[in-house]
Amino acid sequence: MIELKDVSRTFDSAEGRVEAVRSVSLTINAGEIYGIIGASGAGKSTLVRCINLLEHPNSGTVTVDGQELTALSPKELRVARKNIGMIFQSFNLMASRTVLDNVAYPLHGRNMSRQQVVDKVRELLRLVELSDKENAYPSQLSGGQKQRVAIARALATDPKVLLCDEATSALDPQTTLSILELLKRVNRELGITVVIITHEMAVIKEICHKVAVMDQGRVIEEGDVFSVFAAPQQLLTRQLVESTLRLEKINSLVEEDAEVVRLAPGEQLLKLKYLGSNVSDPLISEISRKFDVNCNIIFGNIEIISQTTLGTLVLIISGYPDSVSAAIQYLIDNKVEVEVLHHAVS
């Protein structure tokens, strides 16, 4: 549905040249929810604005739904853009117009009667669950409701692609979840390809099928969300993943040599990662019995990502050195990833 080939975008300003997007190539398939994550200034907004050519790439090609946008005339581009809806962190609603008129706005200039427009808007407001607000003004709505109006407006032209630039960043966690649910429904029920920009891995985990990680204008890692969470390749990705799995806390406790992770001679601090079905296996009680080792669980977390479970456990294991080694080998044989965070030599 979306293909970027070698897209670059630089800005020249008084302070010099900024390479906001550097030679990015991406393929986003029809029907996917695709996340782009990265720190502030990484180039996410610039990249996504290159998809609808709000930002013209300096080089490279952008193809959406089989049409190379970078080769179109301005007039052809205006038509092609109706295929691409966009929503923003700041909602961008027109304050002096009602909800109904905001959503109707993209339908201006179409060959539709007022009644047809109103019918279409009401159908969209039903979809975003705001049927009772059609005569309200934006100032009378909550942030979540404003974003629902913006989504309805973005869908008015029946786009095939919806671009979301930090669409939930201004919202509280509960409202964020409800907007993400709505985006999932838009994807599933209308078959719209959704591109989500965020700086929160939790958003990616909640709704995306695929993810690209951006750093300094480049895509440094890309893949399906579960694989990236289970085996992040780049340091930045690993940090992002660990922060959502709340593992960074353990790392800092180890660094600070905090009481809870302090080891007696012979003890080891292990981080275990379980993938898929073996999460439910009673491996810890098994190794305690089989190898006569003690396991003191410090931290545990189970995530369900794309319907697959990913478990993390941090524990202190103790016992005779041979038993501990055998127990660790048993875990590895059972497809548990074992990392020794700290080993107190006896």
Ligand X SMILES: Nc1ncnc2c1ncn2[C@@H]1O[C@H](COP(=O)(O)OP(=O)(O)OP(=O)(O)O)[C@@H](O)[C@H]1O
Q: Is 11 in the site for ligand X (CB under 6 A)?
A: yes
- When the beta carbons of 15 and 189 are compared against ligand X, the nearer one is 15
The reply to whether 45 sits near ligand X by the rule CB under 6 A is yes
Beta strand 84-88 pairing with 161-165: parallel
CB nearer to ligand X: give 90 or 296: 90
- Quote the CA–CA distance of 75 and 196 in Å, as a whole number: 27
For the bound state, the minimum distance from the C-beta of residue 25 to Mg ion, rounded and expressed in Å, comes to 20
Residue 86 engages ligand X in binding (rule: CB under 6 A): no
Q: Closer to ligand X at the Cβ: 28 or 103?
A: 28
Count of H helices and E strands in the chain? Answer: 12, 14
Counting contacts by CB under 6 A, is residue 20 touching ligand X? Answer: yes
Token pair 């993810």 is at which residue?
A: 211
Tokens describing residue 172: 């509280």
Q: Which stretch in 10-18, 146-154, 171-179, 277-285 sits in contact with ligand X by CB under 6 A?
A: 10-18
CA distances to 65, 200, 202, 272, 300 from 279, rounded to whole Å, are 40, 25, 21, 11, 12
Q: Give helix 143-155 / helix 173-190 axis angle, nearest 10°.
A: 20
Nearer to Mg ion, 45 or 312 (CB): 45
Determine the 3-state secondary structure of 273 from DSSP. strand
Q: How far is CA 188 from CA 31, 191, 203, in A?
A: 8, 5, 17
- Least distance in Å: CB of 229 to Mg ion? 23
Overall residue count recorded for the chain in this entry? 346
- The piece of 44-52, 147-155, 230-238, 266-274 that touches ligand X (CB under 6 A) is 44-52
Locate 133 and state its tokens: 């607000």
Tokens of 293: 């080792």
Q: Contact letters (x/-) for ligand X, 191-230, by CB under 6 A?
A: --------x-------------------------------
Q: Does 18 bind ligand X (CB under 6 A)?
A: yes
Instruction: Say how many residues touch ligand X, by CB under 6 A.
Output: 13
In the bound complex, what is the minimum distance in angstroms from residue 125's beta carbon to ligand X?
Answer: 29
Distance CA(124)–CA(151), nearest Å, equals 9
Q: Is 8 helix (H, G, I), strand (E, B) or coil?
A: strand
> Contact between 138 and ligand X (CB under 6 A)?
no
Task: State in angstroms the smallest separation of the CB of 6 from ligand X.
Answer: 17
**How many Cβ atoms are within 10 Å of 126's Cβ, its own excluded?**
11
Tokens 């706005």 locate to 105
Interface with Mg ion by CB under 5 A: which residues?
45
Residue in 22, 23, 41, 309 binding ligand X, rule: CB under 6 A = 41
C-alpha dihedral over 20, 38, 184, 103, to 10 degrees? -40
Specify the pairing of strand 59-64 against strand 161-165: unpaired
Is there binding between residue 58 and ligand X (CB under 6 A)?
Answer: no
| Nearer to Mg ion (CB atom), residue 21 or residue 154 | 21
**Adjacent-strand bridge partners of 124:** none
Binding of residue 44 to ligand X (CB under 6 A)? yes
Closest to ligand X by CB, 7 vs 283, is 7
CB closer to ligand X, 46 vs 70: 46
| Closer Cβ to Mg ion, 168 or 318, answer by number | 168
Among ligand X, Mg ion, none, residue 139 binds (CB under 5-8 Å by kind): none
Q: Does 35 bind ligand X (CB under 6 A)?
A: no
User: What residues line the site for ligand X (CB under 6 A)?
Assistant: 11, 13, 18, 20, 38, 40-46, 199
